[in-house]
Amino acid sequence: MNALTFRTNGQRFACNIEKVQSIENNLRVSFVPKMPAYVDGFVKQQGEVIPVLDLGYLLYDRKTSRKDGEAYIIYRAEALTIAFFVEHADQILQMEESKLAEKSLQTYSQVPYFRAIYDLQDELVTIIDFDILVNATEGMEDVIEFAQDEMNEMK
């Protein structure tokens, strides 16, 4: 599996690169009131209204620090394109199947979006399935509906 590694709240994670459209360092994020706390705002990019989700808040209930830098992973989820705000996007790497530990995480049902652990030399990297994370996040239906309504108004 080809994966993108990134950091949020000091921890390294990875996602399958198949649905990653781009990695951006600077986005002009527009704040929208009354959104869930994990929504940083929205960006307009290539005719799409894209919600910006703070991955640190989704995983740890704490905002991601901007002091160590910022990166946005533009990801094509099942419902729409989403920008995940992280501290830093590290590298793209080919993950060897023999270094993946999947079964132990899949039996832990509280975090179904953690798909596997990868042994990357000196640290363990948790692999996140962004589609499952989005589907499991409370309030995402409203965020998706808002983005789709905004796109329809632009047409």
How does pLDDT run across 73-129, given as a tens digit for each residue?
A: 999 998 899 999 999 999 999 998 888 776 555 555 677 898 888 888 888 899 999
C-alpha neighbours within 13 Å on the C-beta side of residue 139 = 9
How does pLDDT run across 51-67, given as a tens digit for each residue?
A: 999 999 999 999 988 77
Cα–Cα distance measured from residue 31 to residue 92, given in angstroms and rounded to the nearest whole number: 30
Q: In what order do the strands lie in the sheet with 48-54?
A: 20-24, 71-76, 81-86, 48-54, 39-45
| Residues in Cβ contact with 108 at an 8 Å cutoff, skipping those fewer than 6 apart | 114
The listed CATH number (3.40.1160.10, 1.10.3720.10, 2.40.50.180, 3.40.50.620) that belongs to domain 2-154: 2.40.50.180
How does pLDDT run across 11-56, given as a tens digit for each residue?
A: 999 999 999 999 999 899 999 999 999 999 999 998 899 999 999 9
Q: What is the pTM of this model?
A: 0.91
Cα–Cα distance measured from residue 134 to residue 127, given in angstroms and rounded to the nearest whole number: 15
Would you state the pLDDT for residue 60? 92
